[in-house]
Amino acid sequence: MSSPAPAEWQRDMDLTTANTLRLPCRAQFFAAPRTRAALRRCIVQARQRGTAITLMGGGSNVLLPPRIGGLVLQPALHQWWLESDGSRVRAWVGAGVNWHRLVMALAERGLWGTENLALIPGDCGAAPVQNIGAYGVELADVLVGVEVMSLDDGSVRWLSREACRFGYRDSVFKRELAGRVVITRLLLEPGREARPVLGYGDLAARVGDRPSALEIARAVSAVRREKLPDPQYLPNAGSFFKNPVVDEVVARKLFARYPQLPCFAQPGGGYKLAAGWLIDRCGLKGQRFGAFAVHDRQALVLVHTGDGDRAGLEAAASRVAAAVSQRFGIELEREPRMIDG
């Protein structure tokens, strides 16, 4: 007979409202440790019991199955603080801190670097996994390092930005370190000097000639609210598909046929295309697929209209991707992380 579950673990936890897509899901066990010591204790307890561990952040970028066996860990490390040595400012940020609130707090203090990333949902611990980005800025642009805790023994170490191996919506946490570590803390280095990035969309037109970081953060928030549905009222996971990056030959062929195609040269080579534009040109904006639909204002977003599950969502996403592949020859890749049962 197995031993009783530790007191900190909750049994048969309903996670339906803990993910922004509102996919029905129950966890066999659940814990939300508030300190690193409590987190380490949960990890050690799980290993001693032979219990599988599944990590979960704010639930904004995940696709949950109907049931998750083992222990679901959601670190509730909510502390953050600033340090300054005169020449630079550094922010130490717990994994459970809400990302948007952090961005606004830094902008209100006149610190630059994260303002274009305002209103991206989720907790800070999930930000490095996707290398979140928007309006020409990525987390990697302001991050110094990431503290991680081993899921094998609870040991702690720091990874430099280079060791995180960031790419477009990609990092070592989605590959070699997937399921091996939990992110506990971020170290960011926002700047005091103005460094506005206003080259995407109509952002420049929404702010003055010399905008503050807070003005840009507010403008980005306004744009996102206009274009993206609020998951509190219409369940969604934000951008469901990555913007595809293609080589120059493919980009030129597509642009010759579709001169209005948004196409952005990338520093590392290749061209990034707008997945939302591709989906929209397939006539799918507003299209319903059972309990799911392509949002009527932003084709990059799939919304849950009610009573659906992950299987239905996967079927809807496959139909959207197939339409884009058939018309443009471009294969779309999903952005949210798939969590296994």
Residue tagged active-site, from 161, 169, 185, 337: 169
CATH hierarchy code of domain 229-338: 3.90.78.10
Q: Which of 57, 64, 47 is nearest to 6 (CA)?
A: 47
Can you tell me the distance from the alpha carbon of 306 to that of 100, in angstroms, rounded to the nearest whole number? 27
CA distance 234 to 178: 30
List of residues 6+ apart from 308 with CB closer than 8 A: 23, 290, 291, 292
pLDDT of residue 168: 87
Equal fold, 10-73 vs 229-338: no
Class of domain 10-73: alpha beta
**Is 80-221 in CATH node 3.90.550.10?**
no
Q: Do the beta carbons of residue 89 and residue 77 sit within 8 Å?
A: no
- What distance in Å separates the CA atoms of residue 241 and residue 209, rounded to the nearest whole number? 33
Within the chain, residue ranges assigned H as helices are: 36-49, 99-108, 127-130, 203-206, 213-227, 248-257, 275-281, 310-328
Angle (deg, nearest 10), helices 99-108 and 213-227: 150
Closest residue by Cα to residue 23 from 309, 237, 250, 241: 309
User: In this predicted structure, what is the pLDDT of residue 327?
Assistant: 97
User: pTM here?
Assistant: 0.88
Look up residue 186 and give its amino acid.
L
11 is an active site residue: no
Q: Which of 145, 105, 117, 122 is nearest to 231 (CA)?
A: 122
Of 121, 122, 92, give the one whose Cα is nearest residue 106: 92
Per-residue pLDDT of the chain in tens (341 residues, 90 and over written 9): 456 788 889 999 999 999 999 999 999 999 999 999 999 999 999 999 999 999 998 898 899 999 999 999 999 999 999 999 878 999 999 999 999 999 999 999 999 999 999 999 999 999 999 999 999 999 999 999 999 999 999 999 999 999 999 998 899 999 999 999 999 999 999 999 999 999 877 888 999 889 999 999 999 999 999 888 999 899 999 899 999 999 999 999 999 999 999 988 888 889 999 999 999 999 999 999 999 999 999 999 999 999 999 999 999 999 999 999 999 999 999 999 899 87
What does the pLDDT read at residue 252? 94
Domain ranges of the chain: 10-73, 80-221, 229-338
pLDDT of residue 2: 58
Active-site entry in 40, 161, 185, 239: 239
- CB under 8 A, 24+ apart: contacts of 195-201: 195/112, 195/113, 196/112, 197/116, 197/135, 197/136, 197/137, 199/136, 200/135, 200/136, 201/135
Is 221 considered catalytic here? no
Strand order in the sheet with 80-84: 80-84, 89-94, 181-188, 143-150, 156-160
Determine the Cα angle at 183 with ends 173 and 268, to 5°.
Answer: 40
Among 8, 215, 314, 335, the active-site one is 335
CA atoms within 13 A on the CB side of 25: 27
Q: How would you list the strands of the sheet with 67-73, edge to edge?
A: 10-14, 26-31, 67-73, 53-55
Interacting residues of 97 by C-beta distance below 8 A, sequence separation 6+? 77, 78, 79, 80, 123, 124
Question: CA-to-CA distance for 256 and 245, rounded, in angstroms?
Answer: 17
Instruction: In whole angstroms, give the CA distance from residue 96 to residue 85.
Output: 26
Verify whether residue 239 is a known catalytic residue: yes
